């Protein structure tokens, strides 16, 4: 827990612009059509101020600017991460990927690879960055194999922090990781120790969305049990995964129903596919088995559609908001806290009692302080010691040289010690 | 058994011909083939023993596979109820199965906790220790002056290793384990939960695994150096081409086209376990039970156990240092690249003094 900061700031539950610009443009059209008829126009002019078009303006500006989104995928190798990314965004980011052979894997460490692609749909531009983590969980000894990943996330936060505190803030590149899809193996009986370790290391830094990978090897009853099991273990270990925001009470029933279904299906059991197969006379994205065809976009087969809707169509903006408002703010506060405490520790004896970090005073101030010290010492020292010795000490010629322990300095030291004790706690 | 069959002609020379019986008539074969029946009767009376070990990460379907193979439904059904233990443990369960008068004492050793931790260094040590312990027990029984008529055989005859279906290649953990264990026990690797791979993916995965095994000099069962004759070689080559088998296990029955089959029912179809078009479970079953069970036991006894015995006796200097004495330093875990010298060739002495 970040010391001295109190509870995590609660997220401002601002109602997101519905629907977000990345999807349909129905809202815009709705507003546009309202202003269409001339009879209405007069009424509108009389009764309304006219800021109902604000969402439309925001919409247009955002579309011009374009969006960016950074998605991290993590999990053991062979769980279908690259296939899923391909299915989600319908782009092949891994064309030139070379799978490592067994010998190369033995000496491999966890790497961070970034692939960026620009996608455009109906005039809306999205700059998508996928952060891949090959080598995670593959070695025989996987102790702290998530460290390179946490370091990367922290690095991006630090970069943003620096940019934000800098002079030119016009074009800040936002490379912070907005969402991390964590792939859980469907073959286990729940979360593995590596899964727990990874999620606990990253749940305060990134929005984690756990997924059950390769769900086509499980029958429906097994999927249900596994989901329950994973939910229990997430609670048990105190892992904070990304929570879908509560929908407002004035939303329509459909939306509420969708939201409910979404929450109940977490963690999503997904299947990915790079190939298109023929099923029931239609060409669908799926996997062809001797016993049947698994359709990726069939809700009865897997939760891929739910994941895609959640990630892209409904919650992309919320993910970015949570990253900015919660994770990044936590990081920033922690960073500043550390900086302050570091400065107080490093500060020299001569400087006055630091409540805020102040630079070490120059010679002039030093002289003034010393003079003040002596005055105080003279007055207090006599009263304290009450004896001839003290008076003598103060009035002796040795007084010209800096007195051994001025009162002010003593108080300073005491404060330093108290601060140190507080830090150690 | 071939030498017995070498002389099909009525052997006048082996029996003194009585003057009353005309030659080349009514003498018939000697009747040596009746020995087969005698052996059979004896074996059926004594029963067979088979010890199998299943190794793999949790959730790869090991218990289900054992249930499907031997149809022992009594063993605790695998489910999501049991979390993997913190350290590797070894559980042995014994069943006595009977089929058409033949009794089989089957011991299944499970290894929950293998490869499940964050740090899996040396997770194979308890397994190697267990296997060597069984060899040691047998050795001690063998060295006694008054030995039992039938030494109970707890040695692991076969170790089935479950490779997770990643579709890429063998993981470092798999390679480390296989390298060490192939020198001590017969290892049969299988691709577990193969219903998550399509047929093409399976083939590609299989080829890559075979290549990995070759590169790391991992000698899995059936080992090429133990093929006795040309027939064996042909049969085993066909098997070697398909190893590792892509298997699916199931313990529930479903109705398919009017037949009751073991399988898994999904929303897009039913995976039939015993259907060769769906998975290679029948191949594994045939290998382990129907065709190579005795071979597995033979190799364990004649090769692996003998190797162990030689090393142990060497260590304890119980072997007399005669002219044929070879200094075999005990194999340290570091010696992984070259397989230990197999001093004994199989088939040299098929002494079935303890079991058939």
Interface probe, candidates A291, A292, A298, A302, chain B, greatest B C-beta count within 10 A: A291
- φ/ψ of A284, rounded to 5, equals -130, 160
Q: How confident is the model at residue A235 (pLDDT cuts 50, 70, 90)?
A: very high
What CATH number was assigned to the domain covering residues B38-115+122-309? Answer: 3.40.50.300
Interface probe, candidates B62, B118, B120, B179, chain A, greatest A C-beta count within 10 A: B118
CA-based end-to-end distance of chain B: 14
- What's the 3-state SS for A245-290? CCCCCCCCHHHHHHHHHHHHCCCEECCCCCCEEEECCEEEEEEEEC
Would the pLDDT of A217 be above 80?
Answer: yes
Considering only the beta carbons, identify the residue of B117, B264, B266 that sits closest to A193. B117
- What is the mean predicted confidence (pLDDT) over A80-91? 86
pTM of the model: 0.73
Q: Tell me, yes or no, whether A298 lies in a domain.
A: yes
Cβ contact (<8 Å) for B166 and A78? yes
Q: Tell me, yes or no, whether A425 lies in a domain.
A: no
Report the pLDDT value the prediction gives residue B71, as an integer from 0 to 100. Answer: 77
Tokens (6 digits) for A160 = 């943003």
User: Cis peptide leading into B244, omega within 30 of 0?
Assistant: yes
Using CA atoms, how far residue B247 sits from A67, B223, B244, B348, in Å, is 46, 21, 9, 35
CA distance A246 to A139: 40
Where do we find the tokens 């006595």? B96
> CB under 8 Å, gap of 24 or more: what pairs does B284-292 form?
B284/B69, B284/B188, B284/B190, B284/B245, B284/B247, B285/B69, B287/B188, B287/B239, B287/B245, B288/B52, B288/B69, B288/B158, B288/B160, B288/B188, B289/B69, B289/B70, B292/B221, B292/B222
Q: How many domains are there within chain A?
A: 1
Report the pLDDT value the prediction gives residue A12, as an integer from 0 to 100. Answer: 44
CA distance B97 to chain A (A): 30
Q: Tell me, yes or no, whether A406 lies in a domain.
A: no
Report the pLDDT value the prediction gives residue A378, as an integer from 0 to 100. Answer: 57
Per-residue pLDDT of chain B (356 residues; tens, 9 = 90+): 444 444 444 444 444 544 554 555 556 778 888 888 888 888 888 888 999 999 998 889 888 888 888 876 545 544 445 566 666 788 888 888 888 888 888 899 988 888 888 888 888 899 999 999 999 999 988 888 888 888 889 999 999 999 999 988 899 999 999 999 999 999 999 999 999 999 999 999 999 999 999 999 998 888 888 888 888 888 888 888 988 999 998 888 888 888 888 888 888 889 998 889 998 999 998 888 888 998 999 999 999 999 999 888 888 776 555 555 555 555 544 444 444 444 444 444 444 443 43
Which of A94-98, A199-203, A260-264, B83-87 has maximum average pLDDT? A199-203
Would the pLDDT of A3 be above 60?
Answer: no
Contact A102, A162 (CB under 8 A): no
Q: Is B258 left (phi over 0), alpha (psi -120 to 50) or beta?
A: left
Interface probe, candidates A289, A292, A300, A302, chain B, greatest B C-beta count within 10 A: A289
Q: How confident is the model at residue A170 (pLDDT cuts 50, 70, 90)?
A: confident
Residues with Cβ within 8 Å of residue B12, at least 6 apart in sequence: B23, B24, B27
Report the pLDDT value the prediction gives residue B338, as an integer from 0 to 100. Answer: 41
Q: Tell me, yes or no, whether A352 lies in a domain.
A: no
Which is higher by pLDDT, A40 or A348?
A: A40
Using CA atoms, how far residue B289 sits from A422, B187, B282, B293, B296, in Å, is 70, 15, 10, 5, 10
Considering only the beta carbons, identify the residue of A77, A216, A291 that sits closest to B270. A291
Q: What SS3 state is found at B265?
A: strand
Cβ contact (<8 Å) for A193 and B212? no
> Considering only CA atoms, which of A272, A159, A145 is closest in space to residue A196?
A145
Report the pLDDT value the prediction gives residue B203, as an integer from 0 to 100. Answer: 93
> Considering only CA atoms, which of A242, A292, A30, A53 is closest in space to residue B195?
A292
Query: Sheet harboring A276-279: ordered strands across?
Result: A276-279, A282-289, A292-295
Would the pLDDT of A212 be above 70?
Answer: yes
**In this complex, how many residue pairs, one in chain A and one in chain B, have their CB atoms less than 8 Å apart?**
124
Report the pLDDT value the prediction gives residue A199, as an integer from 0 to 100. Answer: 93
CA distance B280 to A262: 38
Report the pLDDT value the prediction gives residue B344, as an integer from 0 to 100. Answer: 44
CA distance A217 to chain B (A): 5
- Could you read off the pLDDT of A331-341 as tens digits, one per residue? 888 888 888 88
CA distance B329 to chain A (A): 28
> Could you tell me where the DSSP H helices lie in B124-229?
125-143, 172-181, 199-215
Query: Sheet harboring B269-272: ordered strands across?
Result: B253-256, B259-266, B269-272
CA atoms within 13 A on the CB side of B334: 1
Considering only the beta carbons, identify the residue of A101, A188, A194 that sits closest to B169. A101
Instruction: Report the b/e string of A131-162 with b at 16+ CB within 10 A.
Output: bbbbbbbbbbebeebbeebbebbeebbeebbe
Residue A357: Cβ-neighbour burial (10 angstroms; 0-12, 13-18, 19+): middle
Residues with Cβ within 8 Å of residue A181, at least 6 apart in sequence: A71, A72, A73, A74, A81, A84, A209, A211
Q: Residues of A with CB below 8 A from B87's CB?
A: none
Cβ contact (<8 Å) for B84 and A189? yes
Report the pLDDT value the prediction gives residue B318, as an integer from 0 to 100. Answer: 60
CA distance B333 to B348: 29
Cβ contact (<8 Å) for B268 and A188? no
Cβ contact (<8 Å) for A193 and B266? no
Q: Tell me, yes or no, whether A32 lies in a domain.
A: no
Q: Residues of B with CB below 8 A from A226's CB?
A: 80
Report the pLDDT value the prediction gives residue B84, as an integer from 0 to 100. Answer: 62
Q: Residues of B with CB below 8 A from A145's CB?
A: 118
Helix B125-143 to helix B172-181 angle, to the nearest 10 degrees? 10
Q: Residues of A with CB below 8 A from B164's CB?
A: 78, 185, 187
- What is the mean predicted confidence (pLDDT) over A289-301? 89
DSSP structure class, residue B354: S
Contact B147, B141 (CB under 8 A): yes
- What is the mean predicted confidence (pLDDT) over A149-159? 91
Residues with Cβ within 8 Å of residue A65, at least 6 apart in sequence: none
CA distance B185 to B132: 10
CA distance B127 to chain A (A): 16
Residues spanned by the domain of A287: 54-341
C-alpha torsion angle, residues B287, B244, B107, B125 (rounded to 10): 150
Q: Tell me, yes or no, whether A268 lies in a domain.
A: yes
Considering only the beta carbons, identify the residue of A78, A102, A292 that sits closest to B268. A292
Report the pLDDT value the prediction gives residue A38, as an integer from 0 to 100. Answer: 61
Q: What is the CATH number of the domain that holds A163?
A: 3.40.50.300
Contact A307, A250 (CB under 8 A): no
Residue B78 CB: number of other CB atoms within 10 A?
Answer: 19
Q: How confident is the model at residue A174 (pLDDT cuts 50, 70, 90)?
A: confident
- Could you read off the pLDDT of A11-34 as tens digits, one per residue? 444 444 444 444 344 444 444 444
Q: What percent of chain A has pLDDT over 70?
A: 70
């Amino acid at each position: 827990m970040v010391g001295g900061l109190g509870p995590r700031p609660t997220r401002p539950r601002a109602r997101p612009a519905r629907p977000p610009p990345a999807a349909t443009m129905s809202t815009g059209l709705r507003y546009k059509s309202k202003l269409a008829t001339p009879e209405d126009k007069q009424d509108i002019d009389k009764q309304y101020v006219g800021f109902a078009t604000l969402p439309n303006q925001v919409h247009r500006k955002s579309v011009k600017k374009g969006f960016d989104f950074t998605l991290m995928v993590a999990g053991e190798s062979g769980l279908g991460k690259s296939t899923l990314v391909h299915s989600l965004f319908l782009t092949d980011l891994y064309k030139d990927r070379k799978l490592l052979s067994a010998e190369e894997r033995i000496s491999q460490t966890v790497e961070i690879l970034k692939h960026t692609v620009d996608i455009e749909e109906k005039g809306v531009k999205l700059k998508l960055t996928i952060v891949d983590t090959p080598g995670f969980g593959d070695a025989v000894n996987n102790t702290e194999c998530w460290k390179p990943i946490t370091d990367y996330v922290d690095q991006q936060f630090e970069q943003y922090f620096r940019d934000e505190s800098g002079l030119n803030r016009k074009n800040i590149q936002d490379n912070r990781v907005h969402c991390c899809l964590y792939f859980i193996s469907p073959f286990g009986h729940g979360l593995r120790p590596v899964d727990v370790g990874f999620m606990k290391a990253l749940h305060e830094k990134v929005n984690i969305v756990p997924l059950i990978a390769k769900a086509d090897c499980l029958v429906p009853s097994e999927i249900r049990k596994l989901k329950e099991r994973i939910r229990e273990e997430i609670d048990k270990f105190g892992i904070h995964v990304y929570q879908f925001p509560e929908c407002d009470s004035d939303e329509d029933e459909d939306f509420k129903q969708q939201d409910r279904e979404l929450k109940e299906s977490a963690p999503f059991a997904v299947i990915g596919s790079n190939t298109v197969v023929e099923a029931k006379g239609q060409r669908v994205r799926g996997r062809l088995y001797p016993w049947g065809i698994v359709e990726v976009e069939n809700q009865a087969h897997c939760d891929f559609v739910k994941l895609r809707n959640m990630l892209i169509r409904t919650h992309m903006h919320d993910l970015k908001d949570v990253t900015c408002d919660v994770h990044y703010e936590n990081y920033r506060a922690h960073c500043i806290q550390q900086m302050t405490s570091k400065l107080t520790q490093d500060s020299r004896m001569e400087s006055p009692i630091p409540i805020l970090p102040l630079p070490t005073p120059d010679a002039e101030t030093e002289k003034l302080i010393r003079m003040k010290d002596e005055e105080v010492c003279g007055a207090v020292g006599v009263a304290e010691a009450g004896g001839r010795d003290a008076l003598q000490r103060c009035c002796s010629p040795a007084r010209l040289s800096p007195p051994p322990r001025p009162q002010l300095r003593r108080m300073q030291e005491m404060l330093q010690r108290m601060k140190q004790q507080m830090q150690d706690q | 058994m071939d030498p017995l069959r070498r002389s099909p002609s009525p052997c006048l020379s082996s029996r003194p011909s009585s003057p009353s019986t005309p030659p080349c008539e009514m003498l018939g074969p000697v009747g040596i083939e009746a020995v087969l029946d005698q052996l059979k009767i004896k074996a059926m009376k004594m029963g067979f023993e088979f010890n199998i070990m299943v190794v793999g990460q949790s959730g790869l379907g090991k218990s289900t596979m054992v249930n499907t193979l031997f149809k022992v439904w009594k063993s605790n059904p695998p489910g999501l109820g049991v979390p993997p233990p913190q350290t590797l443990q070894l559980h042995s369960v014994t069943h006595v199965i009977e089929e058409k008068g033949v009794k089989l004492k089957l011991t299944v050793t499970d290894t929950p906790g293998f490869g499940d931790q964050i740090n899996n260094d040396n997770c194979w040590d308890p397994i190697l220790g267990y296997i060597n312990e069984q060899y040691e027990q047998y050795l001690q029984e063998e060295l006694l002056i008054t030995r039992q008529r039938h030494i109970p055989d707890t040695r692991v005859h076969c170790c089935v290793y479950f490779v997770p279906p990643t579709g890429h290649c063998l993981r470092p953990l798999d390679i480390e384990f296989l390298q060490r264990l192939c020198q001590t026990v017969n290892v049969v690797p299988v691709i577990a939960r193969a219903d998550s791979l399509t047929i093409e993916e399976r083939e590609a995965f299989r080829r890559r695994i075979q290549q990995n095994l070759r590169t790391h000099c991992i000698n899995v069962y059936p080992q090429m150096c133990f093929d006795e004759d040309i027939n064996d070689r042909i049969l085993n080559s066909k098997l070697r081409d398909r190893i590792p088998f892509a298997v699916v296990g199931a313990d529930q029955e479903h109705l398919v086209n009017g037949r009751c089959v073991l399988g898994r029912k999904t929303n897009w179809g039913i995976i039939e376990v015993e259907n060769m078009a769906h998975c290679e479970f029948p191949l594994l079953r045939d290998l382990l039970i129907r065709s190579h069970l005795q071979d597995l036991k033979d190799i364990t006894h004649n090769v692996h156990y003998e190797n162990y015995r030689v090393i142990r006796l060497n260590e304890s200097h119980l072997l007399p240092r005669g002219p044929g004495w070879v200094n075999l330093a005990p194999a340290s875990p570091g010696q992984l690249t070259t397989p230990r010298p197999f001093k004994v060739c199989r088939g040299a002495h098929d002494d079935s003094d303890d079991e058939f």
